[in-house]
Amino acid sequence: RNPRALPVLSRPSAMSFALAAASSSVATFTARRGVQAAHRTTPAARRAGSVTAMSSSVAAPAGSVNLLTDGDKKPLVDSVETFIFDCDGVIWKGDSLIEGVPETIAMLRGLGKRLIFVTNNSTKSRAGYLKKFLDLGLEITADEVFSSSFAAAAYLDSINFPKDKKVYVVGETGILEELDGVGISYLGGEADADKKVTLSGSELMHHDPNVGAVIVGFDRNFNYYKTQYATLCIRENPGCLFIATNTDAVTHLTAAQEWAGNGAMVGAIKGSTKQEPIVVGKPAPFMLDYIASKFDIRKDQICMVGDRLDTDILFGKDGGLRTLLVLSGVTDEATLRSPDNTIHPDFYTSKIADLLSITA
């Protein structure tokens, strides 16, 4: 393992919590429509035993599409104690802050709300994302940041991944730093960025038989060598796990346009192995279960704010959270209102800064 330039944040003591439930929920999730659909508990069941349900002005009827009005904002904010924000398309696009984000964060903190930032982008570790927040002038603490790179390492740690096994990484530095943080050996990642397959003569690619898991995260240097190496490990190493940080179709690498997401990399490995991955990022429940346990938060006291229907909003709805879609990222209003769309947030608005106009 190679030391990283950025410090890997220490694992919270909650890593020792009963993650068996979270591990089970990940396994259940992977069996659902290739990582997304059945086995959802009903909202009523999820809220059983909790305090009085929110007023009808906050809880959206099933299937409705509700624009967040000034009259809705205060009841929504008052009804929850924690906001979970996606990052790409909600807080920033590329390396540019979205308008009004610092002011909105300050306002919510002033109201005593807990803020948590969760990203499916695995290119950075939690330490890397904390540095990005600070570089953008946002006062965020280490405990408020969660990434899918962290989730992948935390998942392996939660199942007591054997210390004599290695992980093959299709991905970037974020995954490597998080694996360092839990003491798991790895190969691949950036070291395989320039490797090529010549397919000359009777070429045979050898692979390490001690690889017990393959993690596939977003990789700007994805290549055929990595595809073949990952395929060999998953297909030929007994019990080798196939873990995806996420299956996002597109991502915001720059403010100028959308770029092909980790779903492209995961799709290639799915195609060659004919296996479905264990998904640890949104909308899978692993990160939500981890966060709720770490901070001792009731899920019905959380509002998920995101720009994607099939990850952020589904993550919230499956978890029994309030949900707010912002149109500052991937999803536009036409997509939201399309009769083909079956995922409906409680409310939608243009950007999180719209909360600044809360009325008394």
Active site residues: 81
Contact 294, 145 (CB under 8 A): no
Cα 40–chain centre separation: 18
What does the alpha-carbon distance between residue 265 and residue 223 come to, in Å, rounded to a whole number? Answer: 9
Which tokens go with 52? Answer: 């009085």
What Cα–Cα distance (Å) separates residue 229 from each residue in 109, 188, 204, 216?
47, 9, 11, 12
Q: Rg for the chain (alpha carbons), in Å?
A: 20
HSE at residue 256, side-chain half, CA atoms within 13 A, is: 1
Element (H, E) at 45: helix 43-46
Asked if 64 and 346 touch (Cβ cutoff 8 Å), the reply is no
Task: Say if strands 96-97 and 92-93 run parallel, antiparallel, or are unpaired.
Answer: antiparallel
Rounded Cα gap, residues 107 and 355, in angstroms? 9
| Distance separating alpha carbons of residues 116 and 354, to the nearest angstrom | 19
